[in-house]
Amino acid sequence: HLESSRLAEIAEVHGTRPKAASLRICTDAAEHAPKEAVGVISVSLQVGVETEAKASDTKGPEAKKRKVENVTPSGKRKVRVASLLLKYAGVSDADSLARRKAPANRTQVAAERLLMQTLEELRRPKPDEHKDLAVRFAAKCEALSDCKSATNKPHADLGWVFEGQFGKEFDAVAFDLEVGGLSDIFTTPRGVHILYRLA
C-alpha cells in the first residue's frame, strides 16, 4: 500500500509516461510488501492538448516552417531524436547499430528499471548537472546506451529518422513526441528505449 502523497510524486515525475509510472509504483509497492503479488493498471489521458490536425490548420509562417521541417519532398514524416537503448539477454545480436552486446545477465525488467531510474534522474537534475535536458540526455546516452548513436557528437542522436526506418513500435513513440520531450519506456526488437526529441 503506497501513500497518496507518494503516488502524487510519481505522477509528477512521470506525467504522461504510464509504463514508467507503473514500473515505479510496482517497484515501490514490492519493497513495502516483498511477499505479496503486485500489479498496476494505469491510464494516461491528455485533456485539452492541441491535436496535430488543429496544428496543421494554423496559418502563417510558423505553420509552414513546421510542415517543411517535418515532411520530406516524398511525403514521409521525419523527426530528429536521440535514443537511449538498453539491450538485454535474449535480444538478437544481429543489430548493425549496436554499440555493444547485451550484458548476459541483464533481463528486460532490469533494463526497464534502469531506464525508469534514468527518466527520474533526467526529470530531477542534481545542482551540479547541466540545466539543458538535451545535454543531460546526451550524457546519459553516452554513459548507458547500447546504440552506436550514443557516440555521435554533440547530441548522441540518431539524426533525422524517417517514418518506417526503425519499425512501427519506434514510429509510434518518436512521431508522437513533442520537440524537447522525453518518451515513456518502450520495447522494440532491438531492446528497450527512451527517446528525446530534438526536432
Say how many CA atoms lie within 13 Å of 32 toward its Cβ. Answer: 11
Residue 143 pLDDT exceeds 60: yes
Cβ neighbours of residue 191 closer than 8 Å, sequence gap 6 or more: 85, 86, 87, 88, 91, 102, 111, 146
Q: How many other CB atoms are there within 10 angstroms of residue 129's CB atom?
A: 13
Instruction: State residue 50's pLDDT score.
Output: 54
Q: Tens digits of per-residue pLDDT, 100-123?
A: 999 999 999 999 999 999 999 998
The rounded mean pLDDT for the chain is: 85
Cβ neighbours of residue 177 closer than 8 Å, sequence gap 6 or more: 79, 81, 183, 195, 197
The answer to whether residues 66 and 60 touch, using CB atoms and an 8 Å cutoff, is no
DSSP, residue by residue, 95-133 = -TTBSSPPPTT--HHHHHHHHHHHHHHHHS--TTS-S-H
Q: Tens digits of per-residue pLDDT, 38-55?
A: 888 877 776 665 544 444
Cell 505553420 sits at which residue? 63
Residue 33 pLDDT exceeds 90: no
pTM: 0.80
Residue 194, judged by CB atoms within 10 A of its CB (0-12, 13-18, 19+), counts as buried
- Alpha helix (H) residue ranges in the chain: 4-14, 18-32, 52-57, 61-70, 108-123, 133-144, 168-174
Calculate mean pLDDT across residues 63-86.
73
Instruction: State residue 66's pLDDT score.
Output: 39
Cis peptide before 18 (omega within 30 of 0): no
